[in-house]
C-alpha cells in the first residue's frame, strides 16, 4: 500500500496539474479574449484596387488601400457597383457596363462565387456513406435516391428501406470505376450532399494511386472520368462548389497548399491556379467573394489576414494587402501567466485530443518566482521543497495549485 501511495501521489499531482493547465487558461481566456478585428476588403471593379469597407465610418465608408477615401455613401456605392448592385439598381444608378462588359443583374448573379474553407472541413469524422443524386433529373430539383453508397475498398449501394446492398447497381458502378482505371481503395470521397443546390456534379474521388476521378450518376448509369489532375499536382483535398454558371467544379488543394479550380468546360478538367500564397491546410482559413470581373480572397493565418484581388478569367493576382494580427489581452496575459497551456478543442478540427500550446518564455519568470516562494515557505521538508520547487518551475501556476491541493504523503 505504501508503494502504491508513493506512486499515486505523483500521479495525482500530475492529474491536478493537467486539469489546472487546461482549466486555468480556459477561465482566463473566457475573461480576457477579444474578437479578432480585421477590416472587410473588396476589390473594386471601378478603381481597380482593394478597398477597405466600413459603412459605420461616416467620414470614409470606403477607402482604397493606398489611402484614397470616398466620403459619401453614394460615392462608396458607386465605387463598388458589383458589390452594391441592388442598392444602385434601386436608385437607378447602376452602370450598363464596366470595363466594356455589359452588366445585368442576371449576369451578376450567375457569376457570383461565395466560398469558405476551414481546416475543420478536412479534420472531421466522416460517416463513410454518401448520397448519389441523379445528375440529370427529369424534373427540376434533386430527389433523394433512396439509397446511399460506401466507397473505400469497394463501391456498394445500400438500399435504405431494406438495409441491404443493391448488388446490381454496385456491380455496375464497380465495373465503371475499374474500366476507367480507378484503383481501390479510395483515399477520400468529396461532394456536396446538400440537395438544395442548383444542379449535381456528383463526387470527386482520390484513388490509392493519387488519381482524381469524377463520379456521378447520369440517367441511372455511372459516369466516371479520370480527371488526370493527379498526374499534374499532388492532390490533397477537393471541395465541390456547384456555381450557377458551371464554370468550374470546385476548389482543389495540392499538398503544398496551392489552390486551383477544376474547369467544367469541354470535359477537360483543366486546372487554373489561384494567384495567392499557399495555404496551411491545417491552420489557415479562406474565403472567396467573386463577381463577374474580379475575385476578392481573404486568407486568415496565425500572423494576420491577407487580402487578394484576382482577375476573374485568369485568376491572376492584381492587388494584395496584409493586416497583421494584433495581440489581444488573452494572448498578452497568457504569455506572462503560462509558458504553455493545454486545450482539448480547436477551431481547426472537429476532433478532440490534448493539444499543448506554447506561449513563450516570459511565463517562466512567474514559474521561477512561484518556485522560489514555495521553497521559502515553511512546514515542508527540504526534500519535499526541492521536489515541489522543480515541479512548479516546470508547470508554473497549475503546478503550484496542484502541490497545494494534493494532500502530501507522510
Residues that bind another protein (CB under 8 A): 1-2, 4-5, 7-9, 11-12, 15-16, 19, 22-23, 124-131, 144, 146, 148, 150, 158, 160-161, 163, 193-194, 344-345, 350-354, 405, 407, 409-410
CA distance 298 to 246: 23
Which residue, 117 or 248, is less far from another protein as judged by CB? 117
What per-residue string of b and e applies to 215-226 under the rule 16 or more CB within 10 Å gives b?
Answer: bbbeeeebbbeb
Least spacing, CB of residue 209 vs another protein, in Å: 24
- Smallest distance, Å, CB 254 to another protein? 25
For the bound state, the minimum distance from the C-beta of residue 349 to another protein, rounded and expressed in Å, comes to 9
Give the position of cell 454518401.
Answer: 130
Task: Name the minimum Å distance from CB 4 to another protein.
Answer: 5
CB atoms within 10 A of CB 372: 13
Q: Which residue has the cell 496551411?
A: 280
CA-to-CA distance for 64 and 71, rounded, in angstroms?
11
> Which cell goes with 136?
440529370
55 vs 344 by CB, closer to another protein: 344
**If 0-12 CB within 10 Å is exposed, 13-18 middle and 19+ buried, where does residue 214 land?**
buried
In the complex, the smallest distance separating the C-beta of residue 91 from another protein, rounded to whole angstroms, is 41
Give the burial string for 254-279 (b: 16+ CB within 10 Å, else e): beebbbbbbebeeeebbbbebbbeeb
- What distance lies between CA 340 and its chain's CA centroid? 25
| 311 versus 346: smaller Cβ distance to another protein | 346
Unique residue bearing C-alpha cell 438544395: 196
In whole angstroms, the minimum distance from the beta carbon of 10 to another protein comes to 10
The three cell numbers of residue 339 are 509558458
Q: How far is the CB of 363 from another protein (least distance, A)?
A: 22
User: What does R_g of the chain's alpha carbons equal in angstroms?
Assistant: 28
Contact of 261 with 238, CB cutoff 8 Å: no
> How far is Cα 117 from Cα 285, in angstroms, rounded to an integer?
6
Q: How many CA atoms lie within 13 A of 315 on its CB side?
A: 21
Q: Return all residues near 73 (Cβ < 8 A) that are at least 6 apart.
A: 55, 61
Distance between CA atoms of residues 276 and 129, nearest Å: 34
Instruction: Pick between residue 100 and residue 407 the one whose CB is nearest to another protein.
Output: 407
Helix-strand-coil split of the chain, %, nearest 5: 30, 30, 40
CB of 132 to another protein, least distance (A): 12
Q: Cell for 183? A: 484503383
Residue placing its CB nearer to another protein in the complex, 21 or 108: 21
Of 24 and 297, the one with the shorter C-beta distance to another protein is 24
Q: Which is nearer to another protein, 82 or 406 (CB)?
A: 406
Distances from the Cα of 230 to the Cαs of 152, 242, 284, in angstroms?
Answer: 18, 21, 23
Q: How far is the CB of 158 from another protein (least distance, A)?
A: 5
Q: Grid cell 428501406 — which residue?
A: 161
What does the block give as the cell for 36?
479578432
Minimum Å gap between C-beta 258 and another protein is 28
Amino acid at each position: 500500500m505504501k508503494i502504491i501511495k508513493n506512486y499515486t501521489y505523483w500521479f495525482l499531482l500530475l492529474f491536478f496539474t493537467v486539469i489546472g493547465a487546461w482549466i486555468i487558461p480556459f477561465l482566463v481566456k473566457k475573461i480576457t479574449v477579444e474578437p479578432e478585428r480585421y477590416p472587410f476588403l473588396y476589390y473594386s471593379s471601378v478603381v481597380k484596387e482593394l478597398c477597405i469597407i466600413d459603412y459605420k465610418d461616416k467620414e470614409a465608408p470606403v477607402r482604397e488601400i493606398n489611402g484614397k477615401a470616398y466620403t459619401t455613401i453614394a460615392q462608396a456605392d458607386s465605387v463598388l457597383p458589383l458589390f452594391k448592385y441592388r442598392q444602385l439598381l434601386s436608385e437607378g444608378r447602376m452602370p450598363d457596363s464596366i470595363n466594356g462588359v455589359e452588366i445585368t443583374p442576371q449576369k451578376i448573379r450567375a457569376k457570383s462565387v461565395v466560398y469558405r474553407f476551414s481546416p475543420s472541413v478536412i479534420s472531421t469524422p466522416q460517416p463513410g456513406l454518401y448520397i448519389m443524386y441523379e445528375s440529370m433529373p427529369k424534373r427540376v430539383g434533386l430527389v433523394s435516391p433512396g439509397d446511399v453508397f460506401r466507397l473505400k475498398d469497394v463501391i456498394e449501394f445500400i438500399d435504405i428501406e431494406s438495409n441491404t446492398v443493391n448488388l446490381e447497381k454496385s456491380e455496375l458502378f464497380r465495373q465503371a470505376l475499374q474500366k476507367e482505371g480507378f484503383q481501390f481503395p479510395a483515399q477520400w470521397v468529396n461532394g456536396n450532399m446538400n440537395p438544395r443546390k442548383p444542379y449535381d456534379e456528383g463526387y470527386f474521388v482520390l484513388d490509392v494511386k493519387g488519381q482524381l476521378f469524377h463520379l456521378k450518376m447520369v440517367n441511372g448509369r455511372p459516369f466516371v472520368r479520370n480527371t488526370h489532375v493527379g498526374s499534374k499536382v499532388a492532390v490533397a483535398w477537393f471541395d465541390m462548389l456547384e456555381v450557377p454558371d458551371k464554370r468550374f467544379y470546385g476548389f482543389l488543394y495540392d499538398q503544398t497548399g496551392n489552390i486551383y479550380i477544376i474547369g467544367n468546360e469541354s470535359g477537360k478538367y483543366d486546372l487554373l491556379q489561384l494567384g495567392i500564397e499557399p495555404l496551411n491546410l491545417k491552420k489557415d482559413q479562406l474565403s472567396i467573394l467573386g463577381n463577374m470581373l474580379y475575385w476578392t480572397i481573404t486568407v486568415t493565418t496565425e500572423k494576420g489576414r491577407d487580402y487578394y484581388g484576382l482577375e476573374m478569367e485568369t485568376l491572376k493576382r492584381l492587388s494584395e494587402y496584409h493586416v497583421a494580427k494584433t495581440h489581444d489581452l488573452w494572448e498578452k496575459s497568457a504569455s506572462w501567466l503560462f509558458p504553455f497551456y493545454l486545450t482539448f478543442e480547436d477551431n481547426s478540427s472537429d476532433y478532440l485530443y490534448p493539444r499543448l500550446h506554447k506561449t513563450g518564455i516570459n511565463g517562466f519568470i512567474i514559474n521561477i518566482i512561484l518556485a522560489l516562494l514555495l521553497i521559502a515557505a515553511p512546514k515542508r521538508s527540504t526534500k519535499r521543497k526541492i521536489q515541489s520547487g522543480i515541479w512548479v518551475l516546470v508547470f508554473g501556476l497549475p503546478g503550484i495549485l496542484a502541490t497545494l491541493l494534493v494532500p502530501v504523503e507522510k
